Amino acid sequence: MSFKRIHLEKQIILQGLNHLDGLLSFGPASTTSSSNNLHRRPVQGFEIVDGHPTSGISFKAEVQLNNPAEITAKLGDIRLKLQTDMDELKAKESDQNGFIGEVVLPNLSLKPGSATIAIQGNVLVAPEGDPARIGGVTLIRYLLENRSISINVVGSESSSDIPWIAALFSNVRISAMLPALGLSSKLLDGASLVPPDELDALPAQSQQLYARATLRNQLGPPLHISSLKVKAYQDFEPDTTGSTSDPAIRDSICLGDIVTPSDWPTLTLASDNPVHASLPFTLSAGGASYVRILQNEAKRKGIELNQNLEAALALMPKGKMGQDKPTARAPPPQKRDKDAPQEALDLPNLVASALSSLKVSAHVIADVSIGDYRIPGEINFVQHQLPIAITVKTARSILPTVGAPLVDVLIDQAQVSITKLKILDMDEKGLNVEADLGLVDFGPLDVEIHLVQGLNITTPALGSEAESEVIARIVFAEPLRGVAGSDELIKTHLRILPAAGPKSVTNFAAFVSELIRGDELPIRLSSDACRVVAGGADFPAVLTKFVTLPGLGGLQGLTLDEFDIFDEVAAPTGPGRGRALSSASASSAGSIPLGLKEKAFKIRARVRVPHKGSVAVALAKIEAGVEFEGVQIGIITAEDIVFTLTATDVEFDANGYIFIGSESLKEHQPIAQYRQAALDAFGRLATTLLSGTPADLTILGYRAFAMGEMQHISSSRTQVPAHLRSKVSSTSMQKTLSASAPSRTSRTASVSTSGSVTFAQRQVPWLDQAFQKVSAKTVLHRQISPVIKGMQIKQLFASFRREQPMDADIDEIAFEVQVPLSVRFEVLSVQADIEVHFEGYGCVGTGLIDTNVQSCTPIEEREQSVVEDGPAKSCRMVRLAPGSFKLVTKPTEGLAQLIAHIADCEETNKISIRGKARARVEVALGEVYVDVDLGKQPHILHMDGVRGLRSSPVQYTNLQVVDASSDFLKIVFSLYLNNPSKTFQLALPDTELTMAAFYRGCYVGRAHIAKGFKLESGPVAVHDIYFRYCPPLDQEKSVRDIPANFLSGRTTTLEIRGDDESSEIPILIPALKNIHLSFELRPMMDRTLIDSISITLGVTALTAHSVDAVFVVNNPLGVPFDLCAMSFMASYKGQPFGSCTVTYESEHPLRVPSGTVKQPGQQRSSPVAVTLAQPLESTVGAFLKSKGTIMLDLEVTARVEIQGFKIPVFNYHQPALPLSIKGLDGISKIMKFLG
């Protein structure tokens, strides 16, 4: 039965698969969900099966499948895509997880319950440049790093050949977890670092370090590694929490790199067959990194590091290998003696012990093939906790590399100094030296520096070209030891050798010359192959140090003392440097006649060189040129010159010649021009020396000889210490002998200064060249003063005119030129600008001299009044012609005092000549011009003085009173003086000269000398001098004796003085005021003033005892005088005779006419009464006996006027006056009559 249109609705429950118990999911995966949130089904039994060139890496595995339904189905082969689902590949912007292969579930059959399903699949890594590549390489990295991997298995429309099954699986997604492989993932078991000498296959000279590693393959198919790059980092064992215990060591430290070379053969790892490979290992980390590794491992193992080592490690620079940045300089270690014991340090053993359990992590980059599948590009992975073994030998091998930055720091901060150099020997191969070497600041470790190849020397001092050129090498006899904390100097022996090359001798000579010329020489010492031993380990090092070598100071401060010229000889000629000009001119002028050959002075001097004591060296002999103002003036040589390590002045004797040398002759310079320039230079040198000023000279090195051992030294030569002498080899002896032959060398002509020498001098080529570069400024000390002495003039005639300067004519000038050197010279002409100085007043006059010399005669030593002990002298007396010098003066106080001094002194030494003079002098070298500064030393001008005209009594003649008035008497006379000075004369052409006269200190008048007075040498007659006698009225009583003496026959002593009124020439006043002459004024007549008296006896004689008398008065004066009053008392034979007094009226005096001394004027008086003092009878008898004439003695008192000039009263004694008696017969008769 069938029913139509029946609607049937029933609910039937079918049992489902329930996503296969959550294994399956459908639909696209959520982009926001994390794979960690998905329920992942673990994959079991994962195993890599093989590698195929096209399909990639094939694997197989198992998954657990749980079917909750009572459903059974055979689905056939199910193909699903394999996709990575790792959080590492997920980023905020994009997800780098991708499809990396295929998973096949072969002949899938579903049965109720749980079942294990075998799967198989493959992984194909995308080529480089494909974004999907990262998923494949990351999966491989996770596998090799023993890490679990999150994957997805995703269905597609091609998952099955059956359409509905394909549609069923098109949106299926299975999340699975691939567990870590465990031990199967480990490719490296560890390694040991070995030095190259443990690998037989390597060349012996290889320095490459190797890591001997064990590689094994537990993945299944063979692994082929065609290239390998590994970075090894220190690895730390995690604690129970999975982290390192010390935060300070969490940062990984790189030990080094393994990079296989391009020709490295492919390494094949078969399954379960370990391979031992030696891989090149490069220490690539910075030195500080290795220090941290060492410190970390030592701390971890409880190994205490040496204190000095810790201090040294603190100096390790920070940074990568080759890019180390220097650390701050560590504080210097505590000072200790170099011989003090120090804790032994064995770095190789310490490093090996501390690193015995070192673990590393290997960061690997490799080109790998699995089976036949070559993974495109490189893969990278990390394997941890790999042990690395370091032996003592390996530690010793790697320490030079690891410690190189530290050694570089130590060497860089170290200070090297060379403070003393004792040159023991010099030969063609260089210098043998003992040096005081300072090695400080090498850090806290003792070091030994082995300089196997020595040190190269370069120096900027020799110019830019030589700055990088090696000019010399230092070779040490033993390693240099630096003691930590010690600043003691090391005495070491070394050799300084010329560098190799065609310019080796030239460069070495330049280097040695710099040592000679400077106080110090900055040099650069360098070596690319030195070895530093520290802590028991050898470290190769590159050493570059700037060091200052001590030098001889360029002989600066060299002085020449005790300079002496002791002979005149022919100049040295012949080959060699610095010979006479005749050597240079001979080549162009042919043979030179003997008379034209150059002359020379033989010289000797004491050389003094200040020496700082930093360099000790001995030279057998040196030859040097002497230059003055760029002109060679000679050559000197010295022997046995020794500089020691003592700060002192080195002194030695030098001999040589002074001559015109050819060394400074310029090319193409005419000989005559050069010779004249040289003579001019000699003149300037002589000028300097004669002035007493040290002369600046230049010493130029010509030749130098090293000290030999075999020598015969005369007793006068310095004994040289043996340790400073060269050791004479047979070769050097032969060269010394050959050097003595003129045909073998161009410099054989030398100046011999001592006795015979055998093998005492060694000629070294570089020493000669070095010495020829040496020049030193020196000072020649030689006091040669006074040069001019005994200066005198024959005659100085000074003329003084009113209101004009003194006109002084000087006759011949003579002076003595004395040079304390044994040289022949002749003064030919003189030019001078002269100043005449008077002591205490300065310059009083000037003048010019420009004349040829009248004569220049030698003064023999035996002719000198005083022979002085000392060096030989050469003296000449030079005379200049009359009129060659004209003195120009101004009327100054100084000139006035000078004239006064000359007028008063007997001989003067207070006049000196100053100024500048130039003399043309002929010497052995030729004619030279010499300038002399006459102001340096006093050049005394000797002159005779006038002695104030006191040398002889003043004489006069023709004295006469020629005029008179009420105010004065005028007396004329001729004066005779004597000028004792043979030098000084004067004249007063247009002015008169007056002198004041004094009597007993009272002024009585003035004497006048008319114009035209001349005071010449010797006796001088001055005529027509008149004396104006005019004493003041208030002094009349004091001077009344003068006219009485003048008339009565007595001599009057007058004092003649100069005063301010003596001359109209002011500059003569001081001289005239110094004149004080005694003038003996003799009476003018040789008879009495009363010529005679006559008396007439009359009656009054009997009655009044008086008689009449008449007297005759003499007048020798040239003018009449009036007798105004007179009284006298007469005595006869000592008994009073009589007296008389007569006074004349003023209008009628007794006038006596004028006369002369020889013929005086006379006047008879009128009769006057004479009172007799005795009775007449007592005298008549005497009268009778005398027959009428007797001689009386009179005491006369008179008053006289001379033409109005009153002489108030004067007294005088007139003896033996004849008395004539008249009337004697008559009076006698009367007396008879009375009697």
> What's the pLDDT at 735?
37
In the structure, what pLDDT confidence band is assigned to residue 864 with cuts at 50, 70 and 90? very low
- Which are the contacts of 1187, defined by CB distance < 8 A and separation ≥ 6? none
d(CA 90, CA 86): 7
> What's the pLDDT at 304?
78
β-pairing verdict for 984-988 and 796-799: parallel
φ/ψ region of 902 (left if φ > 0, alpha if ψ in -120 to 50, else beta) reads: alpha
> What's the pLDDT at 245?
44
Summarize the confidence of residues 239-263 as an average pLDDT.
66
CATH (residue range 414-551): 2.60.40
Distance of CA 843 to the CA centre of its chain: 41
Q: Is 831 exposed, middle or buried (0-12, 13-18, 19+ CB in 10 A)?
A: middle
Are 426 and 728 in contact, with CB atoms under 8 Å apart?
A: no
Closest CA to 685 of 626, 605, 601, 628: 628
Q: What is the pLDDT of residues 1096-1120, one digit of tens each?
A: 877 666 666 788 899 999 888 889 9
In the structure, what pLDDT confidence band is assigned to residue 1158 with cuts at 50, 70 and 90? confident
Residue with tokens 């055998």: 758
SS3 291: helix
Residue 1176 has pLDDT above 80, yes or no: no
In CATH, what class is 948-1081? mainly beta
Asked if CATH classification 2.40.50 holds for the domain at 1090-1234, the reply, yes or no, is no
In the structure, what pLDDT confidence band is assigned to residue 1141 with cuts at 50, 70 and 90? very high
Q: What is the pLDDT of residues 41-93, one digit of tens each?
A: 888 889 999 999 999 999 999 988 877 777 787 888 889 999 998 888 887 67
> What's the pLDDT at 553?
87
Task: Specify which residues 792 forms β-bridges with.
Answer: 814, 942
Summarize the confidence of residues 550-562 as an average pLDDT.
87
In the chain, domain spans: 18-185, 188-239+249-306+345-402, 414-551, 555-587+596-611+624-710+760-780, 788-861+871-945, 948-1081, 1090-1234
Q: What is the pLDDT of residues 269-326, one digit of tens each?
A: 888 788 988 889 888 766 677 777 887 888 888 787 777 777 777 777 776 554 555 4
In this structure, how many other beta carbons lie within 10 angstroms of the beta carbon of residue 407? 28
> What's the pLDDT at 331?
53
Mean pLDDT of the chain: 81
d(CA 452, CA 1119): 131
> What's the pLDDT at 33?
42
In the structure, what pLDDT confidence band is assigned to residue 464 with cuts at 50, 70 and 90? very low
Residue 616 has pLDDT above 80, yes or no: yes
Cα 854–Cα 857–Cα 863 angle in degrees, nearest 5: 140
> What's the pLDDT at 723?
43
What are the structure tokens assigned to 1045, written together?
């003496």
Task: Specify which residues 875 forms β-bridges with.
Answer: 818
d(CA 128, CA 808): 124
d(CA 481, CA 488): 11
Residue 977 has pLDDT above 70, yes or no: yes
Q: How many CA atoms lie within 13 A of 152 on its CB side?
A: 25
What are the structure tokens assigned to 658, written together?
């002074």
In this structure, how many other beta carbons lie within 10 angstroms of the beta carbon of residue 548? 15
The DSSP string of 1060-1087 is TTS-S-GGGHHHHHT-EEEEEE--S-SS
Higher pLDDT: 265 or 92? It is 265
β-pairing verdict for 188-194 and 25-26: unpaired
Give all strands (DSSP E) within 980-1043, no chain letters.
984-988, 993-999, 1002-1009, 1013-1015, 1018-1029
d(CA 904, CA 1048): 36
Q: What is the pLDDT of residues 367-412, one digit of tens each?
A: 999 999 999 999 999 998 889 888 888 888 878 777 777 777 777 8
- Which are the contacts of 468, defined by CB distance < 8 A and separation ≥ 6? 458
Read off the DSSP letter of residue 95: B
What string of H, E and C letters represents the secondary structure of 392-426?
HHHHHHHHHHHCHHHHHHHHHHCEEEEEEEEEEEE
Closest CA to 992 of 1026, 1018, 959, 960: 1026
Residue 588 has pLDDT above 50, yes or no: no
Are 615 and 643 in contact, with CB atoms under 8 Å apart?
A: yes
Distance of CA 387 to the CA centre of its chain: 68
The DSSP string of 298-347 is HHHHTPPPPHHHHHHHTTPPBSSTT-PBPPPPPPPPPP--TTS------H
φ/ψ region of 803 (left if φ > 0, alpha if ψ in -120 to 50, else beta) reads: left
Residue 422 has pLDDT above 90, yes or no: yes
Q: What is the pLDDT of residues 1045-1072, one digit of tens each?
A: 776 667 888 899 999 999 999 999 999 9
Residue 887 has pLDDT above 90, yes or no: no
What string of H, E and C letters represents the secondary structure of 9-72?
CCCCCCCCCHHHHHCCEECCCCCCCCHHHCCCEEEEEEEEEEEECCCEEEEEEEEEEEECCCCC
Distances in whole angstroms, Cα of residue 381 to Cα of each of 132, 137, 454, 1202, 1227: 18, 9, 49, 162, 196
Are 552 and 615 in contact, with CB atoms under 8 Å apart?
A: yes
> What's the pLDDT at 202?
55
For the CA atoms of 832, 834, 839, 844, the dihedral, rounded to the nearest 10 degrees, stands at: 170
